Amino acid sequence: MKKRVLVTEPIPKSVVDYLEAEVELERWSHPEKIPKGLLLQKIPSFHGLITFKDNIDQEFLQAASQLEVVSNISVGYDNFDIEAIKRSKIIATHTPYVLDETVADLIFGLILATARRIPELHQYVRNGKWSKSVDISLFGHNVHHKKLGIIGMGRIGEKVARRAKVGFQMDVCYYNRSRNHKIESELGAHYEQMDELLKTSDFILLMTPLTEQTYHLIDYEAFRKMKRTSFFINASRGAVVDEAGLINALENQLIQGAGLDVFKQEPIQLNNPLLKMENVVTLPHIGSATAETREEMKLFAAKNMLQALRGDTPDAVIKELN
C-alpha cells in the first residue's frame, strides 16, 4: 500500500509524476494558503507533507498522527517550530543550494536599482516628465569600485561577493559568526567587526537567517552608525531588521536609500511609510522566484520526501535535527 503525501503548494506536472510513481498524492492547488483548520483536519491521514508557508507547530504535530516527514520548499524554515519537531521525531527537510545563484542575481538587481534609482526614473519617464536632459537632482550613485559589506557570509553571500568583486571591482568585506577563509583567499574579501562594517561600507547587505539571536539585529542604532551615503539591502528575513528603526533612519536621512525584498509583515500593508519613499525599492519577496528555480526547488523537496519515506536519509535534513 502506497504512503500518502499532501502537497499544499502548486507543483508542476514533472514533480507530480515524480511523486505519483511512489506515493498516493493529494494536492492543494489554490493560489491562497490552505486554511489552518482544513490542514489540521486533513493531516492525520498523511505520512508526508510538502509545504512552503504552513506553520509546523505543536498544534499541527499533535494532529499529524501518522506523519513521518515534512519537506519545506524553501531554504529558510522559520515556519517550523524546531524544538517541537525534535520532540515529535518527525524528519524535517528544506531546499538549500538550488536557489543560491538566483537569489544572488536578485540581490545585485536591488543594489543597482537603489543606487541608480532605476524604478524611480522608470516612473519619471512613464509619467511624461522627461522633457529635457536630466540634471543633478536625478543623478544616482556608482556601484563599481565601492565597498560592499555583507552581514552573513553563507552560500548566497559568497555568490554576491563574487559578482561584486569580479563584475564590479568592489571592495568586499563581511561579518559572520565564523571566518570564511575560502572567500578571503579566492576573492580578497576581508573580515570586519560589525561596527567597522557599518561605518565604512557604501552598500550593506543583510543575509542572516532569522533566529532568536538575529531578531532585530539591525536596529536604529545600527543605522546611526552607517554612512549617510550608504544603501541598505535586505534579502534575508524582515524581522532581522527593526522596521520602525529603518523607517526612522530613512526619514532622518541617516542613509541614502534601501532595497528590500522582505518585510516585517508580508504582504506589506499599504499604509507602510516605506511604500511612499522614492529612495526605497520594494519587492514582494521574490528572491528565488524564477520559473526554473522554483521548479527545481519543488523537485528537490519531492526528492527529500521520497528519500525519507523509503527509510533513507534525505539530502537536506534541517541541520538542527541532524
Q: Annotated catalytic sites, by residue?
A: 237, 266, 285
CA–CA separation, 252 vs 223, rounded Å? Answer: 10
Buried b (16+ CB within 10 A) or exposed e, 10-35: ebeeebbebbeeebebebbeeeeebe
- Which grid coordinates are listed for 20? 505519483
Across the beta sheet with 4-7, what order do the strands follow? Answer: 24-27, 4-7, 48-51, 69-72, 91-93
Q: The C-alpha cell of 167 is what?
A: 563584475
Closest to 145 (Cα-Cα) out of 122, 126, 170: 170
φ and ψ of 161, to 5 deg:
-60, -40
- CA atoms of 158 and 174, how far apart (whole Å): 10
